[in-house]
Amino acid sequence: MAGVGILVNVLVTLICSWSVSAIEGTNTTEVTDKTTSLLRADRCKNVVENCFCKEKAVTCKGARFTNMDELSPYIKYTTTRISITNGQLTEFSGFQIQLDNLVYLNLSGNLISTVDMNAFRNMPYLNVVDLSNNPVRCIGDVFQPLLNIREMYMRNCNHPDTMGKLCMPEKMIPNVANLTFLEVLDLSANHFDTVTEDFRGFLCNKAFNIKTLILANNKFSYFSVDGCLTSLELLDISFNNFHSLSDEETKYIESIESLEQVKIEGNPFNCTCQIAGFATWLNTTQQPLDVNNIKCPEGANTPFAGKRIVDLDAVALCGEASIAVCFDGRNGDHTMHTRSINAIIAGAMFVAFLIIVTVMLMIYKRHRAKRTLRKGGYANANYYASEPSYDRINK
Ligand SMILES: *[C@@H]1O[C@H](CO)[C@@H](O)[C@H](O)[C@H]1NC(C)=O
Ligand SMILES: *[C@@H]1O[C@H](CO)[C@@H](O)[C@H](O)[C@H]1NC(C)=O
Ligand SMILES: *[C@@H]1O[C@H](CO)[C@@H](O)[C@H](O)[C@H]1NC(C)=O
Ligand SMILES: *[C@@H]1O[C@H](CO)[C@@H](O)[C@H](O)[C@H]1NC(C)=O
Ligand SMILES: *[C@@H]1O[C@H](CO)[C@@H](O)[C@H](O)[C@H]1NC(C)=O
């Protein structure tokens, strides 16, 4: 029995020491590396061209598939990032499985013109969506499930439909009651020209926490969102159709204390007396404007073509000097050319001269008339005076 006990002991000792040595021999770094490399392994290698499918991220660049069928098996519940860019996708209908971990979806640079109503239904925690450079047009309704969206990129998404009609901004932005978390909205290069009531309502009442608003390369000529977007840090309205910034607009920019960058370069500013007020504002504002790039359009029919507007004062813009005559909310100060003022002064002087001459003539005439009268009097007096004497002489 003792022999059996010893044998058991020996066996136990052996097993223990073996397992200890096994544990000791296991390089934990190697294990982690193995796990990581498993996670990093490209699961769709040689199956889906131009794609890397990992445990958490699926990335395709320049893939040639037109829908998700081929890629879908590699998208899992654990996937956090999906990026299918510069490919040939023509439609997006989402994914079959629930994607509670998905925070980033980049579909930019495809040919997507159709987005299914339910495409975003099973990715409620999506933070970033990029649909730029796809002709998706009016898809505002499909974003309804994206209540946690933080960054939305919709650059160059507005292509004319078969009737040649373009989408209005409010039909492209999310049609939701409240987008409390939206901080970045890029709507550049979409042919937008009007801050419609609904678009204004969206910016003011639904997406009021926007920090970055990019409206570059549109056709806006005004931006009236007074009292809204009070958390703005970056406002980009460059390369639009602004001829000037109205007093209302400059006051709005002045009022946003959180601003870190304002881009308004590349607009067809009307470098005439009309922008004198705007030019003065550029020279005095403390807001972080791209003043060095704000120039009179090159090739414009003005002596200031290509010049920085901040360097143009009212004297330069309006001739020798100008005075603010009256104020117009839309176009800024109405200034007047000194020439016109001089003309007015000259006219007034001429009129005054005429009046003086007339008055003098009248006085002269009256005077003359009196003199003639008095002269006649003298004559008569002389006559009468002499007459008696004459009479007397005659008598
Ligand atoms: C574990 O393996 C890594 C790489 O294979 C090596 O650099 C490291 O020194 C090893 N650690 C131990 C404790 O052996
Ligand atoms: C989406 O992908 C494109 C192309 O790779 C890239 O330029 C863009 O910055 C990406 N968007 C985001 C939000 O990361
Ligand atoms: C927006 O929605 C959030 C959560 O859904 C809510 O807490 C908040 O009160 C809403 N804000 C407004 C202004 O409706
Ligand atoms: C530019 O200003 C001039 C005079 O200040 C005005 O006559 C003209 O209509 C303006 N042009 C535009 C496009 O606003
Ligand atoms: C800009 O402001 C400075 C300081 O007030 C002033 O000296 C300068 O003449 C102004 N320049 C123009 C172009 O108005």
Residue 265's domain is classified under what CATH number?
3.80.10.10
* Distance separating alpha carbons of residues 331 and 339, to the nearest angstrom: 21
Cα–ligand 3 centroid distance for 179 (angstroms): 8
Task: Give the structural domain span for 325.
Answer: 270-357
Q: What is the pLDDT of residue 39?
A: 61
- Give the least confident one: 66-75, 151-160, 161-170, 317-326: 317-326
Torsion of CA 72, 73, 76, 80, to 10 degrees: -50
The sheet carrying 128-130 orders its strands as: 51-53, 57-61, 81-85, 104-106, 128-130, 151-153, 184-186, 212-214, 234-236, 261-263
The reply to whether 153 and 233 lie within a common domain is yes
Most informative mutation of 243, 246, 270 for ligand 4 (most atoms within 8 A of CB): 270
Strands 332-337 and 322-328: antiparallel
User: Do you know the residue count of the chain?
Assistant: 395
The reply to whether 85 and 217 lie within a common domain is yes
Q: Does the predicted TM-score (pTM) go above 0.75?
A: no
Strands 114-115 and 57-61: unpaired
The reply to whether 99 and 209 lie within a common domain is yes
The reply to whether 69 and 129 lie within a common domain is yes
The reply to whether 82 and 170 lie within a common domain is yes
Closest to 66 in 3D by CA, of 39, 53, 84, 42? 84
Cα–ligand 3 centroid distance for 200 (angstroms): 18
The reply to whether 185 and 251 lie within a common domain is yes
Q: What is the pLDDT of residue 44?
A: 87
Q: Which residues line ligand 3 at a C-beta cut-off of 6 Å?
A: 178, 180
Total domains, the chain: 2
The reply to whether 168 and 53 lie within a common domain is yes
Residue 159 burial class via C-beta count within 10 angstroms: exposed 0-12, middle 13-18, buried 19 and up: middle
> Which element (helix H / strand E) includes 393?
helix 338-394
The reply to whether 154 and 248 lie within a common domain is yes
Residue nearest to atom 8 of ligand 3 (CA): 180
In a domain, 15, yes or no: no
In a domain, 362, yes or no: no
The reply to whether 263 and 276 lie within a common domain is no
> Contact 264/237 with Cβ under 8 angstroms?
yes
Q: Which residues line ligand 4 at a C-beta cut-off of 6 Å?
A: 243, 270, 272-274
Cα–ligand 1 centroid distance for 333 (angstroms): 74
The reply to whether 274 and 299 lie within a common domain is yes
In a domain, 60, yes or no: yes
Does the beta carbon of 110 sit less than 6 angstroms from any atom of ligand 2? no
Confidence of residue 1 (pLDDT cuts 50, 70, 90): low
Q: What is the pLDDT of residue 393?
A: 44
* Distance separating alpha carbons of residues 106 and 153, to the nearest angstrom: 9
In a domain, 386, yes or no: no
Can you tell me the mean pLDDT for 363-368? 77
